[in-house]
Amino acid sequence: MTRTLITGGLVITAADEVHADVLIEHGRVVALAAPGTQEWAADRVIDASQKYVIPGGVDAHTHMELPFGGTFASDTFETGTRAAAWGGTTTIVDFAVQAKSEPLRAGLDAWMAKADGNCAVDYAFHMIMSDVNESTLREMPKLVELGVSSFKLFMAYPGVFYSDDGQILRAMQVAGDTGGLIMMHAENGIAIDVLVEQALARGETDPRYHGEVRKALLEAEATHRAIQLARVAGSPLYVVHVSAQEAVAELAAARDMGLPVFGETCPQYLFLSTDNLAEPDFEGAKYVCSTPLRPKEHQAPLWRGLRTNDLQVVSTDHCPFCFVGQKELGRGDFSKIPNDLPGVENRMDLLHQAVVDGHISRRRWIEIACATPARMFGLYPQKGTIAPGSDADVVIYDPHATQVLSAETHHMNVDYSAYEGRTITGQVETVLSRGELVVDQRKYTGHAGHGAFVPRGLCQYLG
Ligand SMILES: [Zn+2]
C-alpha cells in the first residue's frame, strides 16, 4: 500500500487555509502537519509548493446516460466520471430514475448496473420518483437504508416526471418522518406547457423561446409552493438548479423564517445568460436547459445568494447532448431540444475564476463545491474535506496557470463547450481518489472501475 506525502501546499477547506504537509495512507488522509516539521517516510512525494491542496469536488447533480426526449445524455458513467476527474471532481451524485409503474428499487438497480465497474471516481445516487403512490411511498425508507437518502420530484414535465401537489405532500411527509431529503425541480410545468403550445402556434420555434416561455415567475411560484408544502409536511427541502432572482428571494424569505430550506445553483446560471440562448443559426440550442438561462441581471442576485448562504451548493446538472444529431432534434420546435448542458469538468475551474473575480472567497469556493454538498447529502467528512480519517480525495490546484475552455481540449463526450473560448485562471494539476493518482500532472492515470458506490447517510446540513 502506497504512502503518499503532499508537501508545502496551501491546504484549503471550508473552515481553514493553512500551509501544511498532508500524509495519506490506505486511501485516507492520516495527518496534517506544518511544512517540513515531520520526518514522514513515503513511497511517493508530491511537491505542492505554490499550489493549493483542496478536497476533491463533490458534484451533487449529474445525469450520465440519462434517457431524455428519445435520446440519451452523451456521457456514459465511464466518460463522464473521467471528465469529472480531469476537472477535480472526485465524487458525483447522479440520479437513478424510477420508470413509471415500476418499483424505485428496479430503477436503482438499473442505474447501479450502468455505473458498476465503469466509474473513474466515486459515485452515489439520488432517486427520481416518477410515480408517487402507496407502494413507492413505502419503498422510500428502504432506499434510505440502502444509502439513497434523497428523492427528486418534479413540478415540471407533465406526463413524464411530474408530480401533483398531493403527491409532493405525501412524499414530503415520508421524508419528514424518515430523515430523507426532497429535492425539487421547481417550475410550474402545467402553465409552461400552455405557453409552449401558444408560442409554437405563433411560429416562435427558435431556442430563445425556450427561455421566454419558462418564465422566472413560474419558477418563483413553484419554489414558493414547494416551500409551503414542505412546511405543512414538516420536512426539509432542497431546490435544485435555482436560476431566477425571484426564486432566490423565496428561498431567502423562507430561510429568514428559520425554515430548513436549501438551494442549489449551477455554473451556467452564474456565467451564461439569455444572450447565449439567442445566438443565431440554432446555436442557442447548446444552452437549452431547465430551469432556463435568465437575463444577465439575474447573475448578481445568484452570486449574492451564494455569499449570504441563501444558496448553499453549486452543482452542474451535467447532462450533455451533442449539438450534431441530438440538440438538432429540436430544429423547428424548441420544445424538442434535449434539455441541459455539459459542465462536470468545468465546475471547479469556473468557481475558482469566481474567486479570482472577487465573487466568493477561497474557502467559500470549497464550501459550495465540496463541503456543503457532502454535508447536504450525508457524505461528510468522508468526502468534502481534508482531515484525518477523510478519504484521500485530494486535488493539487495551480491557481496561477491559465487555460482556455474548449471542446477541442475537454474530456466530456460532447461536441461543444458551453464555455468555448473562455479564459480561466487556475487549473487542476493532480488528482487523487482514495489515495490513488487519477490525474498526475495533467496526465490521466485513472481507470474505469476504480470508482466505487458510496452509500450516503442522512442530510447533515443544518446551516
Ligand atoms: Zn437535473
Spacing, Cα 62 to ligand 1 middle (Å) = 7
Spacing, Cα 63 to ligand 1 middle (Å) = 7
| Tens of pLDDT, residues 331-364 | 999 999 999 999 999 999 999 999 999 999 999 9
Spacing, Cα 401 to ligand 1 middle (Å) = 31
User: How many other CB atoms sit within 10 Å of the CB of residue 420?
Assistant: 13
Output the pLDDT for position 463: 58
In whole angstroms, give the CA distance from residue 91 to residue 80: 11
Output the pLDDT for position 70: 85
Average pLDDT over residues 77-96: 98
In whole angstroms, give the CA distance from residue 375 to residue 124: 14
Residue with cell 490546484: 397
Q: Are residues 361 and 390 in the same domain?
A: no
Q: Are residues 251 and 138 in the same domain?
A: yes
Spacing, Cα 367 to ligand 1 middle (Å) = 21
| Tens of pLDDT, residues 279-290 | 999 999 999 999
User: How many other CB atoms sit within 10 Å of the CB of residue 222?
Assistant: 26
In a domain, 9, yes or no: yes
> Which residues touch 102 (CB under 8 Å, ≥6 apart)?
131
In whole angstroms, give the CA distance from residue 213 to residue 191: 9
Q: Which of 362, 377, 366, 350 is nearest to 122 (CA)?
A: 377
In a domain, 141, yes or no: yes
Spacing, Cα 434 to ligand 1 middle (Å) = 27
Spacing, Cα 28 to ligand 1 middle (Å) = 31
Residue with cell 446555436: 283
Q: Give percent of the chain above pLDDT 90.
A: 98
Q: E-strand spans in 315-420?
A: 394-404
Spacing, Cα 29 to ligand 1 middle (Å) = 32
Output the pLDDT for position 68: 87
Residue 396 pLDDT exceeds 70: yes
Spacing, Cα 152 to ligand 1 middle (Å) = 9
Spacing, Cα 431 to ligand 1 middle (Å) = 26
Output the pLDDT for position 43: 95
SS3 386: coil
In a domain, 84, yes or no: yes
Residue 2 pLDDT exceeds 90: no
| Tens of pLDDT, residues 24-56 | 999 999 999 999 999 999 999 999 999 999 999
Average pLDDT, the chain: 97
Output the pLDDT for position 351: 98
Spacing, Cα 388 to ligand 1 middle (Å) = 33
Spacing, Cα 185 to ligand 1 middle (Å) = 8
Q: Are residues 236 and 342 in the same domain?
A: yes
Output the pLDDT for position 1: 58
Spacing, Cα 371 to ligand 1 middle (Å) = 20
Spacing, Cα 131 to ligand 1 middle (Å) = 17
Q: Are 73 and 114 contacting, i.e. CB atoms less than 8 angstroms apart?
A: no
Q: Are residues 194 and 313 in the same domain?
A: yes
- How far apart, in Å, are the Cα atoms of 222 and each of 227, 244, 291? 9, 12, 12
Spacing, Cα 318 to ligand 1 middle (Å) = 7
Spacing, Cα 437 to ligand 1 middle (Å) = 29
Output the pLDDT for position 69: 81
Residue range of the domain that includes 84: 56-376
Q: Are residues 120 and 219 in the same domain?
A: yes
In a domain, 125, yes or no: yes
Spacing, Cα 93 to ligand 1 middle (Å) = 11
Spacing, Cα 4 to ligand 1 middle (Å) = 36
* Cis peptide bond N-terminal to 267, omega within 30: no
Residue 213 pLDDT exceeds 70: yes
Q: Are residues 140 and 193 in the same domain?
A: yes
Going by pLDDT thresholds of 50, 70 and 90, the confidence category of residue 62 is very high
Q: Which of 149, 214, 227, 150 is nearest to 188 (CA)?
A: 214
SS3 418: coil
Spacing, Cα 339 to ligand 1 middle (Å) = 9
Spacing, Cα 133 to ligand 1 middle (Å) = 22
In whole angstroms, give the CA distance from residue 363 to residue 38: 26
Spacing, Cα 73 to ligand 1 middle (Å) = 11
Spacing, Cα 129 to ligand 1 middle (Å) = 13
CATH code for the domain in which residue 14 is found = 2.30.40.10
In a domain, 311, yes or no: yes
| Torsion sign (Cα): 279, 280, 285, 290 | positive
Higher pLDDT, 1 or 94: 94
CATH code for the domain in which residue 303 is found = 3.20.20.140
Q: Are residues 73 and 30 in the same domain?
A: no
Residue 75 pLDDT exceeds 70: yes
SS3 138: helix
Q: Are residues 163 and 72 in the same domain?
A: yes
Q: Are residues 79 and 227 in the same domain?
A: yes
Segment (H or E) for 300: helix 299-308
What is the count of structural domains for the chain?
Answer: 2
Output the pLDDT for position 386: 98
In a domain, 462, yes or no: no
Average pLDDT over residues 224-250: 98
Spacing, Cα 268 to ligand 1 middle (Å) = 13
Enter the pTM of the model: 0.98
Q: Are residues 67 and 29 in the same domain?
A: no
Spacing, Cα 316 to ligand 1 middle (Å) = 8
Q: Are residues 103 and 155 in the same domain?
A: yes
Q: Phi, psi (5° rounding) for residue 82?
A: -65, -45
> Which residues touch 429 (CB under 8 Å, ≥6 apart)?
51, 396, 397, 398, 401, 439, 441, 442
In a domain, 199, yes or no: yes
Q: Are residues 182 and 288 in the same domain?
A: yes
Q: Which three cell numbers stand for residue 356?
A: 479570482
